[in-house]
Amino acid sequence: MQRSWAGAVSRRVRSIGTSLLLSGAVAIFSFATPSLALVIDFEAAPNGSDAASFDWGTVEIGSALVLDETTIEALTLHTAVGTWATSGSQGLFNSLAPEISFASDAPFSAFSLSFLSLPRPDQGFYQLLAQLWSGDQLVGQLLSDGQTTGDSALHEGVFSASGFLADRLVVQAVEQTSCALGLCAEPLGLRDNFFVDDLQFQTIPEPTVTLLLLLGMTGLVRGARRPR
Ligand SMILES: [Ca+2]
């Protein structure tokens, strides 16, 4: 499953156009995080646990390590305390798999997340790609510039977007390449190179649930109006 997924991601990443990437660049620099319905800040799970083993409400997280900043410092040898997490002291590190996936029971129309990536061995920082999927259809993606730094002195930013309908978000480190159809990126398949915190999703109620609610309300209104 993971392998075929990676293949699909790779193929689709190659086919992305410049416009999507440019809109991604705009989103990265909009640091005003919208206030969305479902917020996951990773403070409730034990340090060192696998995010896949916890109930995060309507969102299911693929394998990734919940870590606090003190542990992150010991693991990565980068100063982290007070600068990595954007809420509390814990976030999610991609130690258990190269990419982190967030699958939602209900479709979502907006999301945001804080990210941080580590320096590459050669130069600069790992660029991160956030992809939005609806089933097997890619409906949007955001690419970080690999340069913007925050108070950690590492690559930091916020991915946020709205105006789509997706049921899965996947974040991974990529290498941006150039190709005939515009900007392209290749997944690097590496672990231990990025950290995310403060995920927010705006979910859409399932149509059937909405319909049932409406029918129920109609019934209540009719019942109330019925003469006794
Ligand atoms: Ca946090």
Report d(CA 60, CA 54) in Å as an integer.
8
Residues in the chain: 228
Which CATH number is 42's domain given? 2.60.120
Ligand 1 centroid to Cα of residue 132, in Å, is 22
Q: Kindly state the tokens that stand for 121.
A: 């061995």
Report d(CA 165, CA 18) in Å as an integer.
21
The residue type found at 119 is P
Per residue in 30-50, pLDDT (tens digit) is 444 556 789 999 999 999 999
pTM of the predicted model as reported, rounded to 2 decimal places: 0.77
Which segments of the chain have a pLDDT < 50?
A: 1-32, 228
The residue type found at 169 is L
pLDDT at 5: 43
Full domain range(s) for residue 11: 2-225
Ligand 1 centroid to Cα of residue 103, in Å, is 19
pLDDT at 180: 65
Domain total of the chain:
1
Ligand 1 centroid to Cα of residue 224, in Å, is 47
pLDDT at 13: 46
Instruction: Please tell me whether residue 25 adopts helix, strand or coil conformation.
Output: helix
Q: Which residues, by Cβ under 5 Å, contact ligand 1, an ion?
A: 41-42, 85, 87-88, 90-91, 197
Report d(CA 209, CA 80) in Å as an integer.
43
Ligand 1 centroid to Cα of residue 138, in Å, is 28
Report d(CA 142, CA 151) in Å as an integer.
22
